[in-house]
Structure 1
Amino acid sequence: MTDLFEPSTAERPAALPSRGRSAASKRAARKRRRRRQQRTATVLVLVLALLGAGGYFFWDRISGSLGGLDLTMGLGGAPEDYEGPGVDPVQVIIPEGATGSMMGTVLAEADVVASTGAFTEAFESSPAASSIQPGTYELYTQMSAAGAVEALLTNEKVETEVTIPEGYTVEQVVDRVASVTEFSREELEEALGDPKAIGLPKAAGDSPEGWLFPKTYNVQPDDTAVDLLATMVDQTKAELDSLGVDSGDRQDVLTKASLVEKEAPEGFRGEVARVIENRLEIGEALYLDASNAYGLGKPAHEITKSEFADESDPYNLRVHTGLPPTPIANPGAASVEAVVDPPEGSWRWYVTVDLDTGETKFTDNYNEFLEFRAEYQEWAAENGY
């Protein structure tokens, strides 16, 4: 058995009697394969004998030009094919970029079809066959080749989709993945505890925060928690590479982008990124409540005055200058792009004056900032905040 297919526990077609695939049926399948090989050898010997001394050269040239002759042809010249809808459920993986012949090889090895040639003929006879997508499918052993093509065209792949929204923390990612896949929290946390296994760079330390890129992932049946998390980390690296971020700057970019992700209303990411850069350049504290909230594990509006003054919290950006120790979330592409290429501006403060519309005002004048803050407070009082 190869890693391209594996037995499944799904139900068989209703039209067939329910029975497990016994050792006897497996032996029978092996005998069928041996008989096909024996018939192939017989055909080859007969052809070479009839063609004479020049026959081998002719055969070699013809089989090479055809990309390899199917070795399960019967004496009548037609590739061997099964009849009926199939017997036992089995999962097969159609690789990315597979041709009809490559699919046939995978299916023949799994005993889904009787021969590569039969599937290739059925594939070429179906105008829609080229739309078959890569992925893991649940089929049945001993299907007709035409039935296998039809089943693949339904595109009912055996996989799980998990979507990670922008701004999720690692803890939220674990919760989401555990809720929609078969991975347990324990498996996911164990994988996260092995930074090297999931491809986390040294600059990240032992914290994967910020490195689990938000998008929709397809989880295949044979994937592990390490596989999925490593894919998320690889996606983050690919995003940073596409924007020309040097490996030595990745951690800082992700940290800034995570602050933008949690702080900036839609449409104002670039401006917030510029405020962060301007304040860092002159050594001013960032005063970003989202970082305090992350460090305390509570919403910003629940933070007390004493907590805002707590110097023991490294995520308290009111009392500590510079960036927090790690990203505070997993930023999306838009926030990363805003950090890499923020607009020009001298802003040092901003206030979202209307939480319903997201209207945000920016300034480099402290007195104007106080006016913006008063405007927000008036809005908050009128709207029950």
Structure 2
Amino acid sequence: MARLIALCGALVLAAGLAVAGAAWWAWRALDAPGPAPAPVVVEVPAGAPLARIAARLEDAGVVEHAALLEWYGRLTGLAGQVRAGEYRFPAGSTPRQVMSRLVSGEVVLHALTIVEGWTFRQLREAIETHPAIGDKLPAAPDEALMSRLGMPDMAPEGWFLPETYRFPRGTTELELLAMAHRAMVAALDEAWAGRAEGIPLETAYEALILASIIEKETGVADERREIAGVFARRLERGMRLQTDPTVIYGLGEAFDGNLRRADLRTDTPYNTYTRSGLPPTPIALPGRAALEAAVDPAPGKALYFVATGNPDGTHYFSETLAEHNRAVARYLATLRERRQAQ
């Protein structure tokens, strides 16, 4: 009997030592670097149990033992705090670090850059082809989208600020448009609040329209306010703006890349050669610099401008029509010389 008791005691002791050894191993293993030699991105589905998440991480090479991660999560209560999303795990992440990241919500952020001068159509095309944007609405009419953004009966052109937007995978098209729209509303309000006195614009929307024209006319930062000044003076004198980008926008899909004299004579609501004042809507998505130029035009006397033809994209500004015509002749000569040199 004594021998049996001794044997049972030995077994209990051995079991205790085994449990203690396993616990000691597990605790140390929580701080052991994982097998991944490089960063690994893993998507954690919404509502997935920790066992499935741990298995996915083991399959991806982030952790060596899925059971260890699951045990740690359940023991600490962190299992119920795991947040869905796409996570990037650095090379050699320990199980403890992996769990910490899973509950942090620090998901991978993707980016979409809205380019200054894009049209709304180009923006929607970029969204349609972006792999991280979900719930796309390619068939949704523009009017329906604007209504959902709180601006029913408003044309969408111009109302989305060109910037780089960062967002988690699965962000919807509507959510992304809402971000860009809120940013434009804020930028336009700020620009309009700081407008110069006496500018020939009655509303912030008119400033948005003019800014879109400025955006399409030049990419040279130093010229934006000068071009804004030309347009402001023409508006003040009742002169037509006569700006090619508005004509091109009015032609829509009919524009083949070559603007002809006949196009300048073809009347559309956007043809500023045939119609006075601003076009009915913006013609592109203007950036902050164009917005600021539209409400703070540079002083001066120039009423005309034309491209110089130089690679830097600069323009020549003229006070008189005769001077402008000479500048146009120089521009055409520069183009001919360039074609002959090719």
Q: Could you tell me whether the CA contact under 8 Å between 1:350 and 1:361 is conserved in 2?
A: yes
Tell me whether 1:163 sits opposite 2:113 in the alignment.
yes
Structure-1 residue corresponding to 2:159: 211
- 1:181 CA drift (Å): 3.5
1:263 matched to 2:247: no
Q: Which residue of 2 aligns with 1:148?
A: 99
CA contact (8 A) 1:167 1:331 kept: yes
Matched, 1:305 2:261: yes
User: Which of 220, 223, 231 pairs up with 1:276?
Assistant: 231
Which secondary structure does the structure 1 equivalent of 2:278 belong to? coil
| Aligned counterpart for 2:180 among listed residues 229, 232, 248 | 232
Q: Deviations over 1:218-251 (max 9, x none)?
A: 23245322211111110001112222449x7221
Is 1:223 the equivalent of 2:174?
no
Q: Structure 1 runs of 4+ off > 4 angstroms? A: 15-18, 143-146, 150-153, 182-186, 298-301
Instruction: Sort the Cα spacing of 1:178 and 1:194 in 2 relative to 1 into closer, same or farther, 3 A.
Output: closer
Structure 1: stretches of 5+ with no match in the other structure? 19-82, 90-103, 113-134
Number of the residue aligned with 1:289: 244
Identical aligned residues as a percent: 27
Deviates more, 1:180-189 or 1:215-224: 180-189
**Within 5 Å, which residues of 2 pair with 1:354-369?**
354-369=309-324
2:81–2:103: 8 Å Cα contact kept in structure 1?
no
Task: Find the aligned partners of 2:88 and 2:273 in 1 and give their Cα distance.
Answer: 59
Residues in 2 aligned to 1:302 and 1:191: alpha-carbon distance in whole angstroms: 29
Q: CA deviation at 1:168?
A: 0.5
Q: Tell me the equivalent position of 2:69.
A: 85
Q: Residues of 2 paired with 1:156 and 1:180: CA distance?
A: 21
1:16/1:292 CA distance change after superposition, 3 Å: same
Distance 2:169 2:233 in 1: 48
Q: Secondary structure at the match of 1:212?
A: coil
**Closer, same or farther in 2 for the Cα pair 1:229/1:188, shift >3 Å?**
farther
Aligned to 1:181: 131
Residue 74 of structure 1 corresponds to none
- Deviation, 1:158, is 3.0
| Matched-pair contact (CA < 8 Å) for 1:293–1:300 | no
Determine the C-alpha separation between the residues in 2 that align with 1:108 and 1:279: 67
1:174-230 per-residue CA deviation (whole Å, 9 max, x = no partner) reads: 111111235579615527423231233x6xx43110001111112324532221111
Q: How far did 1:307 drift?
A: 2.2
How far, CA to CA, are the matches of 2:179 and 2:229 in structure 1?
30
Unaligned runs of 5+ in 2: 1-44, 196-201
TM normalised by structure 2 equals 0.69
| Change in CA separation of 1:341 and 1:139 when aligned onto 2, cut-off 3 Å | closer
Letter paired with 1:283? G
The question of whether the paired residues in 2 share the 8 Å contact of 1:160 and 1:181 is answered with: no
